[in-house]
Chains A and B, each alone.
Chain A
């Protein structure tokens, strides 16, 4: 179903895309709206695509910021884990068309090797174009996350909306020695696994809580 006009007006407005996203979230809360995966996804993708298009059109934004981190602190949490990893070689899974968290990691770790992995062709094409345009030195890989060989990586970050996180996390922990950071619920415990509750379930949908 299309987004209701109110939300379309916001995502297509002149607001900075991340601000537009947060305004949508505020409207969802004030409407006491039941959100399903499709609804959230539509807003997230609209935001990311707008960011990507803006980056391609206008160049580098004033700064990169994690618009999806409504509670704040996600970046610092990432840094607190990754600062201790030497010779960082990061796989970033499910970055979408504008993998802003990977961009923030690039700024924090200019020497790190970073690879964005996505199974959506448009996400792959757009993120590749943005990375090239902004000269961020991040590799991109179009494939299913579960099919990747994670053994060369020493850190893997899994985005909240990735589906099948349980299986993916298990595979990464089993086949590599990487530190794994996952946003959203997973039913796995491991000393190399770090979880940040984001309200997204294993299947990538918005959780009930």
Chain B
């Protein structure tokens, strides 16, 4: 792990996909020897490249360029659409960890004319970029970002939604899920993104509840119903 950090730190440009490939526990990352300080450094690198990807995507849209594809942002959206959004007929979603350019929210808003999405993120620059991106895309009434830590959501705030979506990078994910489960209205559903191939960087969903769909279960549903495995983004392969 230390060697990897040294090598990556020496690169002029750190690519998100490359970092995902190098640290995938089913691939090249399988034999990395864990080291606390190296892991911290890798976490910081991951957070940086992921944020960079998100902010650059928002910046490009705000500069008049077309919205990049979810694949360009190293995320897929079909899985969540097929297993969660298209079945839920949701009207009000709270997206936790919405960032600057929330690919899944934009994907869903394009396909569902009724849903309204509130996004929260702890980074004020991200929510303000998202605010301006939503205005630029004519989505101001349907995509409403603001700055807040999910752990400070009040019971009344939580009860206002019929669905919740939690990003991979959100922490502490399971604590937040437990809080949502405690206060949400009956029948409200939660989707928890996770990344099995990078558990040191993206917290896995360990809570189990009938109203909670974690990404691993979503992939099982996909496999069961479609007969093929859900294609994972580059670097996140599970074999």
Interface residues of A (CB under 8 A from B): 1-3, 8, 11-12, 38, 41-42, 45-46, 48-50, 53, 56-57, 96-97, 120-123, 125-126, 129, 142
Q: Does B123 contact A (CB under 8 A)?
A: yes
Interface pair B132/A53, CB less than 8 Å apart: yes
- Give the complex CA separation of A49 and B52 in angstroms: 15
Question: Mind listing 21 A-B residue pairs with CB under 8 Å?
Answer: A2-B145, A12-B131, A38-B148, A42-B124, A42-B127, A42-B128, A42-B147, A45-B124, A45-B127, A45-B147, A46-B132, A49-B125, A49-B131, A56-B59, A96-B125, A121-B47, A121-B52, A122-B123, A125-B55, A126-B55, A129-B59
CB distance from A24 to the nearest CB of B (A): 13
Q: Does B135 contact A (CB under 8 A)?
A: yes
Interface pair B62/A57, CB less than 8 Å apart: yes
Q: Does B146 contact A (CB under 8 A)?
A: yes
Which secondary structure dominates chain B's binding surface? helix
Interface pair A121/B55, CB less than 8 Å apart: yes
CB distance from B12 to the nearest CB of A (A): 15
Q: Does B51 contact A (CB under 8 A)?
A: yes
Given A12-B131, A56-B63, A121-B47, CB of A42 within 8 Å of CB of B125: no
Interface residues of B (CB under 8 A from A): 47-48, 51-52, 55-56, 59, 62-64, 100, 118, 123-129, 131-132, 135, 140, 144-148
Interface pair B146/A3, CB less than 8 Å apart: yes
Interface pair A126/B147, CB less than 8 Å apart: no
Top 6 closest pairs, chain A to chain B, by CB: A122-B125, A2-B146, A49-B128, A45-B124, A121-B51, A45-B128
Q: Which residues of A sit under 8 angstroms from B128, Cβ to Cβ?
A: 42, 45-46, 48-50
Interface pair B124/A41, CB less than 8 Å apart: yes
Interface pair B59/A126, CB less than 8 Å apart: yes
Interface pair B123/A120, CB less than 8 Å apart: yes
Contact with B126, one of A46, A53, A57, A122 (Cβ below 8 angstroms): A122
Contact with B51, one of A12, A42, A125 (Cβ below 8 angstroms): A125
Interface pair A122/B55, CB less than 8 Å apart: yes
Q: Which residues of B sit under 8 angstroms from A129, Cβ to Cβ?
A: 59
Q: Which residues of B sit under 8 angstroms from A2, Cβ to Cβ?
A: 118, 144-146
CB distance from A99 to the nearest CB of B (A): 13
Interface pair A126/B125, CB less than 8 Å apart: yes
Q: Which residues of A sit under 8 angstroms from B140, Cβ to Cβ?
A: 12
Contact with A41, one of B47, B63, B147 (Cβ below 8 angstroms): B147
Q: Which residues of A sit under 8 angstroms from B118, Cβ to Cβ?
A: 2
- Give the complex CA separation of A196 and B109 in angstroms: 47
Interface pair A46/B131, CB less than 8 Å apart: yes
Contact with A122, one of B63, B129, B145 (Cβ below 8 angstroms): B129
Contact with B132, one of A12, A38, A122, A125 (Cβ below 8 angstroms): A12
Q: Which residues of A sit under 8 angstroms from B127, Cβ to Cβ?
A: 42, 45
Q: Which residues of B sit under 8 angstroms from A123, Cβ to Cβ?
A: 125
- Give the complex CA separation of A126 and B129 in angstroms: 10
Extra pairs beyond A12-B140, A126-B59 (17, CB < 8 Å): A1-B146, A2-B144, A8-B131, A12-B135, A42-B127, A42-B147, A45-B147, A49-B132, A50-B132, A120-B123, A120-B125, A121-B52, A121-B55, A123-B125, A126-B55, A129-B59, A142-B48
CB distance from B147 to the nearest CB of A (A): 6
Q: Which residues of B sit under 8 angstroms from A122, Cβ to Cβ?
A: 51, 55, 100, 123, 125-126, 129
